Amino acid sequence: MKQIKFRDRSPINTAQLKAIRPTRLRRLLETSTTLSSTLDHNQLVDIVVTSANDLTESESASIYLVEQASEKIELTASTATNLSAAERKPSLDNSLFGWILSNKEPLVLQNIQQELLEYSDIDTLDYLNADSLMAVPLLTKDSVIGVLLVKNKLGEGGFTEQDCVLLQMLASHAAAALENVRLFQQTDLIAEFMHEFKTPLMALTTASEILAREDLIPFHQELLMMIQSETARLSRMAQDFLDLSRLESGRLQFDQQPVDLTVVAEDVVKLQMAQADKKDINISIEVLGDVPLVYGDYDRLKQLLLNLTNNAIKYNRQGGIVKIRLLNLGQEVAIKVMDTGPGIAAENLPHLFERFYRVRDDEGFTEGAGLGLPIAKRIVENHGGRIEVTSMLGGGSTFTCYFPPSNKIENTLVPE
Ligand code: ADP
């Protein structure tokens, strides 16, 4: 890529920020909120160009992203239609795009024809079909991933410093959101999930094929029940998958309220009673000492305890026992879920919290997707805690979650 030289521009400073009208900042903030809750690449780039267009009051806005493999830049979205081929895939040699990518700085040209006379070695910008333009780099932590460009300021006066600052702020939020989407897409969570999805789907397909055969009508009731339970399993898996991917991408909002874990445990036991009864399992709560509140999200903590007790019932023997024990450890609050199931072999213990991991079983216990424990781990960690398991083949299992008590958190938040 050949280099050209433009005048240097200074980075954003607080005086420039103060000069921006609050309504414009609010609009930027609204866009940023939308950006951070979108995981769809196409939707994201569309939001970015619409917002760039609107914020800078320009004729059109376009976003160009660098193709990692070819190191070329290409138009990804634009508010303008009918862009020429040259404008869609601009060259990087001697071009404004090349300059922005290598200098990682914004560029404002108020009057393209006049200003370009200063740069004898630059390509003509005729292909951009603009009188004025402003272009900023999309910077992530360690690289520049593209360029956000707006053309032709509407109304009098040309692009201002504030326009440039706003565009840079939008570009930095956009780059972070794009990076997030890329990371999200890179995780093979989707591929793994699709693999898991196929098993119940096959069962459903077979069942419906059999249903269609008139000579097998006596089996209908049985097949319909199977379809119902496999469909329920699929939707549970889909919900778990969604929860885990939201937790992994940090997009799940957690409440910050004082929570009484004893109340959570009581709530969970009520919900699990029917399932426990089916296997004649005794499920109870034991509170040791004065257990302080923890700080966090009631519904998520309930989901955590539901996952653990669900396993404790599922992987238990007929007539077994499940105990939820709450303890005050001084520096920490512990909640234990103990069962009298078959236990887990030592070699499997380190993998239990990996997604889609299931212990090979010969007793026909397994029916989940192996997402319950990874979800549990994320929830505990999001509360500043940790989860541990102890187990012995034939000796049952104990899952313990440790949380900082809410008074400890409050003390660290309030300066002395
Ligand atoms: P699943 O949906 O398969 O239950 P989890 O992530 O909740 O997924 O658990 C992963 C695996 O860990 C299970 O498939 C099971 O083999 C094992 N496991 C979890 N909890 C227990 C338990 N209380 N007793 C024995 N094995 C367990």
Nearest CA to ligand 1 atom 18: 311
Three-class secondary structure assignment of the chain: CCCCCCCCCCCCCHHHHHCCCHHHHHHHHHHHHHHHCCCCHHHHHHHHHHHHHHHHCEEEEEEEEEECCCCEEEEEEECCCCCCHHHHCCCCCCCHHHHHHHHCCCEEECCHHHHHCCCCCCCCCHHHCCCCEEEEEEECCCCEEEEEEEEEECCCCCCCHHHHHHHHHHHHHHHHHHHHHHHHHHCCHHHHHHHHHHHHHHHHHHHHHHHCCHHHHHHHHHHHHHHHHHHHHHHHHHHHHHHHHHHHCCCCCCCCEEECHHHHHHHHHHHHHHHHHHCCCEEEEEEECCCCCEEECHHHHHHHHHHHHHHHHHCCCCCCEEEEEEEECCCCEEEEEEECCCCCCHHHHHHCCCCCCCCCCCCCCCCCCCCHHHHHHHHHHHCCCEEEEEECCCCCEEEEEEECEHHHHHHHHCCC
- Residue pLDDT, tens place only, 307-333: 999 999 999 999 999 999 999 998 999
Which of 199, 283, 352 gets mutated to test ligand 1 (max ligand atoms within 8 A of its CB)?
A: 352
- Residue pLDDT, tens place only, 43-94: 999 999 999 999 999 999 999 999 887 789 999 999 999 899 989 999 888 7
- Residue pLDDT, tens place only, 102-154: 889 898 888 877 776 565 455 667 778 888 899 999 998 778 999 999 999 99
Q: Is pLDDT of 31 > 80?
A: yes
Nearest CA to ligand 1 atom 19: 311
Nearest CA to ligand 1 atom 21: 311
CA of 358 to the centre of ligand 1 (A): 6
CA of 240 to the centre of ligand 1 (A): 14
Which protein residues are within 6 Å of ligand 1, measured from CB?
307, 311-312, 315, 339, 341, 344, 352, 357-359, 366, 368-373, 397
Nearest CA to ligand 1 atom 13: 358
Region of poorest pLDDT, from 215-219, 368-372, 376-380? 215-219
CA of 373 to the centre of ligand 1 (A): 7
Which of 311, 321, 354 gets mutated to test ligand 1 (max ligand atoms within 8 A of its CB)?
A: 311
Query: Which is higher by pLDDT, 229 or 216?
Result: 229
- Residue pLDDT, tens place only, 280-303: 999 999 999 899 999 999 999 999
